Structure 1
């Protein structure tokens, strides 16, 4: 455990008080005292249909006030294992300059990497994973990817653009940010007008686990396959909320029926403990399409599960 545990003084206050931060954590201005940073990326400028994920970070912060410290299954306390803080949102000066906005995200995460901070990010549409990886991985070489989603997000172009929320992981392969042979895509489903994304993922060497395979094999076997593919090297985790069935997460831009339950999602994430995770994101929560904060509440709960994974990975790296 760290000698300087996370400041949890806000946990003793009523949940409806104070300025909302992720999980009621301190808002950090001094990054030198942070091991894991929670970050909002309020950007949805690359969606194909329903916008609204730009509001995701703010609502996820609000619902994450429900977070408590100790995991009820593992008894692990991530806040005792690492110094964790809210780093605020990526700030934009070129929001309507498409490539410029992505560059600003990448620049922010390059600073995060230089500070030695492990990021847990809240989107935002799934486009943000690409600039996050640009900043986080840089020229260090490709990393593994565990990608939980209803869609492969490996199209080539849409409406003339190579950069939108259906293309980030094709671009990430092309840019040498992820290793397709260490990439697993879990929960893929739903009809498409063209098989381009499925075909590219499989042809490039990614392991695509369609939802039907997940159901047939079960969560435990799915986890085992994900761990086999990712291996022991550095790995990034990305979780699209539309991997869940819309009965559990209606507030998202591209809902697909037949997805995970919340319990299955928890089991899946908990099974990834032990992977060498260098960062993670949870994306596509769209509050304007939500009902009674169902999706943002689920998203905040899953962010806690992911935080436990990141803190565990960090602790293992420290102790060897």
Structure 2
């Protein structure tokens, strides 16, 4: 049996730039007989057909023969503690959750989840989640650490590794968004905050659909850190791709343009046409030129003022950071935030805002340096966001707060 793809994918396929011509008398499309190209719909050459085995990669494993266990979190490691190279790797040395029941029973605050969609001109992003679990780093498991700006212990948060979301590397990446939406919804409905690790930026659309379904369209604000604005009008034959997802989200009403906040923008786009669209839809944006002109502190204060009081989803493209600090990205742009500025921003919004989701994406481990500087920075950015979230739980209200014990000097005599 064969069946057509979802309505979104069908409509996307209908946007092919050069549609084929049906020659009924030849039973062919562009001279190719249908029996040689069975993925073409004889009645519409712009409609693609998938075999019914297309869902093999998304089929859930039958767990009925697994050993019985009570729902909850578990560590896969032999030892009580130790360096990460002595462990079976998980994100940040966190315990594992395999189901929504585990998340609920473990009272999980944050579910770290791997993402593996590859929608980049330079391949490698699909391997980022695997690399992030096995960074050559000095940190220990179990999940732990004290933030040295806020003085809070992030292990006060219950954090779990929720595995990696499957992506079919052979299919149209639009069809992979369904599975991302499904798994993110599991996390959100279990009462945890999903923090995505790895993958490419197209996955942000599934974050927005899952959040829109939970909170309502247009109810959640987005903080987008990126060198690029990712609201390109060029469709490339798709409804949504790695550089267009914000435009579709705004045009479809999924996202309120006035709640989309960009920072770090630079490079060769947007042009005046796209900038006009951004202004007409009331997007908030802070180009790198604004930081150069007015300074980081002033721009940070403006951004925090815009975001105050909002439920917030953080979408962090690693090329938002200067490649001097994050070389392992597929669309590198000189300039950008420093590592210190990016870390401060994550702490600040974690304190000020109710974080409902986050993702750190576009890390390409094949392009990173020998010390994995980009991967380690991405790890620290996620930890800093969680430190801010824990600080908020402990009653810290000032997004620019510093622990007094960390700013004393001379043995505390000052």
Q: Verify same fold: TM over 0.5.
A: yes
Structure-2 change in CA distance of 1:247 and 1:109 (3 Å): same
Aligned length: 310
1:228-243 superposed matches below 5 A: 228-243=305-320
Q: In structure 2, which of residues 149, 152, 176 is the aligned counterpart of residue 73 of structure 1?
A: 149
Q: TM-score, normalised by structure 2?
A: 0.69
Structure-2 change in CA distance of 1:250 and 1:299 (3 Å): same
Structure-2 change in CA distance of 1:13 and 1:21 (3 Å): same
Q: In structure 2, which of residues 220, 243, 252 is the aligned counterpart of residue 175 of structure 1?
A: 252
Q: In structure 2, which of residues 158, 166, 178 is the aligned counterpart of residue 91 of structure 1?
A: 166
| Aligned mates of 2:297, 2:355 — CA distance in 1 | 19
Q: In structure 2, which of residues 340, 353, 373 is the aligned counterpart of residue 294 of structure 1?
A: 373
What is aligned with 2:197?
122
Divergent runs of 4+, >6 A: 4-7
CA offsets, 1:284-304, max 9 Å, x none? 000111111121111111111
Q: In structure 2, which of residues 224, 230, 242 is the aligned counterpart of residue 153 of structure 1?
A: 230
Structure 1 SS opposite 2:217: coil
Give the C-alpha shift of residue 276 in structure 1. Answer: 1.8
Q: TM-score, normalised by structure 1?
A: 0.88
Give the C-alpha shift of residue 211 in structure 1. Answer: 0.1
What is aligned with 1:51?
123
Query: Where does the alignment leave 5 or more consecutive residues of structure 1 unmatched?
Result: none
Q: In structure 2, which of residues 166, 175, 182 is the aligned counterpart of residue 100 of structure 1?
A: 175
| Aligned mates of 2:207, 2:332 — CA distance in 1 | 24
> Is the CA contact (8 Å cut-off) linking 1:61 and 1:300 kept in structure 2?
no
Q: In structure 2, which of residues 293, 298, 307 is the aligned counterpart of residue 221 of structure 1?
A: 298
Larger Rg: 2
Structure 1 residue 60 and structure 2 residue 132: aligned?
Answer: yes
Q: In structure 1, which of residues 256, 269, 274 is the aligned counterpart of residue 346 of structure 2?
A: 269
Give the C-alpha shift of residue 220 in structure 1. Answer: 2.2
Q: Cα RMSD (Å) of the superposition?
A: 2.6
Give the C-alpha shift of residue 91 in structure 1. Answer: 2.5
Structure-2 change in CA distance of 1:84 and 1:184 (3 Å): same
| Aligned mates of 1:240, 1:25 — CA distance in 2 | 23
Structure 1 residue 244 and structure 2 residue 313: aligned?
Answer: no
Give the C-alpha shift of residue 219 in structure 1. Answer: 2.2
CA offsets, 1:139-160, max 9 Å, x none? 6232111111101001123422
CA offsets, 1:12-39, max 9 Å, x none? 2122112111110101121211121001
Q: In structure 1, which of residues 270, 285, 295 is the aligned counterpart of residue 363 of structure 2?
A: 285
Give the C-alpha shift of residue 162 in structure 1. Answer: 2.7
